Chains A and B, each alone.
Chain A
Amino acid sequence: MSNPDDLIESLVRDLKPMPAHALERRMAALVLPALGLSLLVMLVFFGFRVDMAHALSLPVFWIKSAYNALLAILAFVAIRRLSRPDGDAGGIFAGFGLVVAAMAIVAGIQLAVSPTESYRVLIVGGSALHCPFLILGFALPVLYANFSLLRKSAPVDLRLAGFVAGLAAGAAGAWVYSWFCTENGMPFVLLWYSLGILLVGLIGALAGPRLLRW
């Protein structure tokens, strides 16, 4: 391979037509099965929340679901940008700021209309201590998929790419977890779900510079 023309010829021989949106296809092929695995683990080992039929009629259940889904979508859009060498984070942090701020408003409203005695349930609930770690658990398959995607892509800011890969996995894991979790407190979601997502983000930021070099 020392002769430059040999290298070029071997690359030319290896050339195959690249389908349109090849990167997006690769992303879908990695992330969707990982998300499916998380959902499967949740259904088999945990099951839907015990009051599922009732929860489906609660706005707070859907707000919780939408909070995590929105954060995940924002982060996946940013991963797509960051996997290109000439890409940046786009508006992900502004987007996250808006979604979290909206959630803070919803949480404030819920507290304002609730009696003071219920604050403990709405803020700490019964699962605050293990919630962030279960989110981390459900995030692991997606975290692995995101890193696999980025390792075969061309991110140039490895810490940022790792951080966003972690946020996306964390938000996806939180969304999966929200089908099992029985907490209805919006302050609870704002605090402990966000903490779980951030935890996975920090793990990604730590791992990025080590695992994503190419």
Chain B
Amino acid sequence: MTDALSEETLKRMMLRSLDGDEGAYRHLLQALRGLLLAYYRRRLALGARSDLEDLVQDTLLALHARRDTYDRTRPFTAWFFSIARYKLVDHFRRGGGRMLVDLDETLEAASGEDALTARIDVERLLDGLPPRQRELLRRVKLDGESIAEAAGRAGQTETAARVGIHRSLKALARKLRGET
């Protein structure tokens, strides 16, 4: 999924769409439709599933009509999910007093979205590292293993693992600062 619908892919399709490429736009809308269905399905209460299709279509229409508010220099997914979230909140507001999800679910849903974009970003960053370092970093920083455990699995001494992780983090920091 991170492969097919990464920030990079979606943004590339959006930029081509803005230049008038109909094929790219068709692909983009189909991909976004899938993302919206998943996004809203998780957030609408069971009884409100009939609203799902309306909400998805309304959001696609809105992002089409307001696509000049996308700043080509900024991340596409942030723009897209902001519209999706606005349309969801607006949908609840229009529902009057009937709040269709409880707060816990909304909070969980919000972190789900962050988790999606964060995962896309982290995976892309890690992809730039050599396989051994990537594996080590993933085990220690993402999966929460101790350095000793991870070193054991990788067949390294703990010191070597520490140095490796330190170097990887420095490399990532350089990358984030745009130095590479």
Counting CB contacts under 8 A, is A100 at the interface? no
The answer to whether B20 touches A15, judged by C-beta atoms less than 8 angstroms apart, is yes
Counting CB contacts under 8 A, is A130 at the interface? no
Counting CB contacts under 8 A, is A7 at the interface? yes
Interface of B is mostly: helix
Chain A residues 1-23 with CB under 8 Å of chain B are 1-2, 4, 7-9, 11-12, 14-18, 20, 22-23
A84: B residues at CB distance < 8 A: 69-71, 79
Known contacts A11-B25, A15-B17, A153-B66; decide if A86 and B30 are in contact (CB<8 Å): no
Taking the closest CB of chain A, its distance from the CB of B85, in whole angstroms, is: 8
Q: Which of A2, A7, A26, A153: most chain B CB closer than 10 A?
A: A7
* Cα of A23 to Cα of B65 in the assembled complex, Å: 12
Counting CB contacts under 8 A, is A111 at the interface? no
Interface of A is mostly: loop
Taking the closest CB of chain A, its distance from the CB of B67, in whole angstroms, is: 7
The answer to whether A4 touches B33, judged by C-beta atoms less than 8 angstroms apart, is yes
A8: B residues at CB distance < 8 A: 26, 29-30, 33, 60
Counting CB contacts under 8 A, is B118 at the interface? no
A20: B residues at CB distance < 8 A: 72
The answer to whether B62 touches A213, judged by C-beta atoms less than 8 angstroms apart, is no
Of the candidates A7, A9, A11, A86, which one forms a contact with B82 in the assembled complex, judged by CB atoms under 8 Å apart?
A86
The answer to whether A12 touches B29, judged by C-beta atoms less than 8 angstroms apart, is yes
The answer to whether A12 touches B68, judged by C-beta atoms less than 8 angstroms apart, is no
A11: B residues at CB distance < 8 A: 25, 29, 60-61, 64
Counting CB contacts under 8 A, is A203 at the interface? no
The answer to whether A85 touches B61, judged by C-beta atoms less than 8 angstroms apart, is no
* Cα of A152 to Cα of B57 in the assembled complex, Å: 18
Taking the closest CB of chain B, its distance from the CB of A208, in whole angstroms, is: 14
A85: B residues at CB distance < 8 A: 66, 69, 79, 82-83, 86
Q: Which of A23, A26, A83: most chain B CB closer than 10 A?
A: A23
* Cα of A153 to Cα of B67 in the assembled complex, Å: 9
Q: How does the 8 Å CB contact mask read for A72-108 relative to B, with 1 for contact and 0 for none?
A: 0000000000011110000000000000000000000
Chain B residues 124-148 with CB under 8 Å of chain A are none
A156: B residues at CB distance < 8 A: 82, 85-86
B79: A residues at CB distance < 8 A: 84-86
Counting CB contacts under 8 A, is A45 at the interface? no
Counting CB contacts under 8 A, is B105 at the interface? no
Provide 28 A-B residue pairs closer than 8 Å at the C-beta atoms, listed in order of the A residue: A4-B33, A4-B53, A4-B57, A7-B61, A8-B26, A8-B33, A9-B26, A11-B25, A11-B64, A12-B22, A15-B17, A18-B19, A18-B67, A18-B68, A22-B68, A85-B69, A85-B79, A85-B83, A86-B78, A86-B79, A86-B82, A152-B65, A153-B69, A154-B62, A154-B82, A154-B86, A156-B85, A214-B66
The 3 closest A-B pairs by CB, nearest first: A17-B20, A85-B82, A22-B68
